[in-house]
Amino acid sequence: MTRHFLDIHRLEGSELRAILDDAHARKAARAGWPKGRADADAPAKDRVLAMIFEKNSTRTRFSFDAAIRQLGGASIIATASDMQLGRGEPVEDTARVLSRMVDAVMIRANRHEDVENFARVSTVPVINGLTDRSHPCQILADLQTIEEHRGPVAGKTIAWVGDGNNVCASFIHAAPKFGFTLNVACPAEYHPDLFDLQKGGAAVHLTGDPREAVAGADVVVTDTWVSMGDQDYEARLEAFDGYGVDDALMGLAAPDAVFLHCLPAHRGEEVTDAVIDGPRSLVWDEAENRIHAQKAVLAWCLRG
C-alpha cells in the first residue's frame, strides 16, 4: 500500500515512534559529515522527489531538498504558479501525471483538501509540507529536538501559547500518539478546531490563560499570530495581546524548560528577542532537525 504522510493522527503510535527513532539514528550516524554526502544505506537511491509549493518556504524547501540528497535521491521543485496547477489544472490530474514521473511528492498547499485529493489518486507517497490545517513534519522535528536535549518526550508537559493554528493542530495530534500532555493557551476566537481537539483527547488541555498553560511545563512553544493566508492582521494583534512569550512567562515554566518556535519568528510579537536568542531557546537545532526528521519520513514512505 502507498504510504502517505498527511497527518500525525493517521499513523499508529508505534510507526511514529519508529520514524522519530530513525531520525535520531540518522542524525547520529552522520555527525561531522559534509552535508551533501549520502547516508550509508542511501534508501532513496535512484528515487526522485517532486516538491510543489503554493506558499512561501525557507526551511521546508531547503530541508526536503537536502534530505532527499542525503538519502541518495534527487529532487524537482516547482511553485504552483509555475505549473498548470496554477492555471486551474485539477490536483487529481496533476497527481496522476506526477505519479508516472516521480517516486514521491511533497506538497505545501493553501487548502488541506487539495493535499487529501492529490493523495487519493496518487500512486506514489504524498507528504504534507504544511496546509492551512496542519504541519506534521514540523512536529516530528520539534519532538526530535526536545528528546535530544531533555530525553523521552513521553510524560513531558508541553505548553503551546498563541494561535490555535496549523502547527498547533499537529502538536495536538501528536500528544496522545507520543504520550505527552499538551496545554494550549489561546484567545477564545482563535481556539483549535473541535476536530483536532477530539484527536488530542484527554492529552490536551485548553485554557485562555498563558500563565496557567506554562506553569511547570517542560517545553514552551509558540508560532506567528498571523499565518500565511490570514487576512485579519490588526484584529489578531489585538486578540493576542498578552500572549507573547517573554522572560516573565518562561519564568513560570520548569527551571530547565526549553523554548521552541517553528520559524519564521516575529520578534516583539509572539516572542521577545531575549527568549528566542536566550539560553533556553532551541530554535536553530529545531530548524536543523527538519532535515533529519524529514529523512525519516521519506525513508518510511519509500519503504512502503
Q: Is 227 annotated as a binding residue?
A: yes
- Provide the edge-to-edge strand list for the sheet that holds 126-128: 74-79, 48-53, 104-108, 126-128
The grid coordinates of residue 99 equal: 505519479
For residues 3 and 136, what is the distance between their CA atoms, to the nearest angstrom?
A: 15
Residue 215 to residues 29, 167, 279, Cα–Cα distance (Å): 37, 21, 19
Interface pattern 60-99 for ligand CP (x via CB under 6 A): x---------------------------------------
Query: CB under 5 to 8 A by kind: which of ligand CP, ligand NVA, none does 165 bind?
Result: ligand NVA
CB burial string 164-197: b at 16+ within 10 A, e below: bbbbbbbbbbbbbbbebbbbbbbbeebbbeeebb
Query: Any contact of residue 262 with ligand CP (CB under 6 A)?
Result: yes
Candidate list 18, 121, 252, 263; residue touching ligand CP; CB under 6 A: 263
Query: Any contact of residue 224 with ligand NVA (CB under 6 A)?
Result: yes
Any idea which residues carry the catalytic annotation?
Answer: 108, 135, 138, 223, 262, 290
| Other Cβ atoms closer than 10 A to 37 | 11
Which residues have a Cβ under 8 Å from the Cβ of 33 and sit 6 or more positions away?
none
CB of 124 to ligand CP, least distance (A): 22
For residues 126 and 106, what is the distance between their CA atoms, to the nearest angstrom?
A: 6
Query: Smaller CB distance to ligand CP: residue 59 or 292?
Result: 59
Query: CB under 5 to 8 A by kind: which of ligand CP, ligand NVA, none does 58 bind?
Result: ligand CP
Candidate list 166, 170, 183, 272; residue touching ligand NVA; CB under 6 A: 166
Stretch that binds ligand CP, among 18-26, 58-66, 90-98, 207-215 (CB under 6 A): 58-66
Query: Smaller CB distance to ligand CP: residue 130 or 140?
Result: 130
Q: Is 170 annotated as a binding residue?
A: no
Query: Any contact of residue 271 with ligand CP (CB under 6 A)?
Result: no
Query: Smaller CB distance to ligand CP: residue 137 or 184?
Result: 137
Can you state the angle between helices 112-121 and 91-101, rounded to 10 degrees?
A: 50
For residues 104 and 118, what is the distance between their CA atoms, to the nearest angstrom?
A: 12
- Nearest Cα neighbor of 270 from 293, 252, 244, 295 is 244
Q: What is the CA radius of gyration of the chain?
A: 19
Query: Smaller CB distance to ligand NVA: residue 43 or 192?
Result: 192
Element (H, E) at 111: none
Query: Smaller CB distance to ligand CP: residue 121 or 263?
Result: 263
Binding residues for L-ornithine: 166, 223, 227-228
Binding residues: 57-60, 84, 108, 135-138, 166, 223, 227-228, 262-263, 290
Q: Which residues bind ligand NVA (CB under 6 A)?
A: 130, 165-167, 223-224, 227-228, 262
Q: Which residues bind ligand CP (CB under 6 A)?
A: 57-60, 130, 138, 262-263
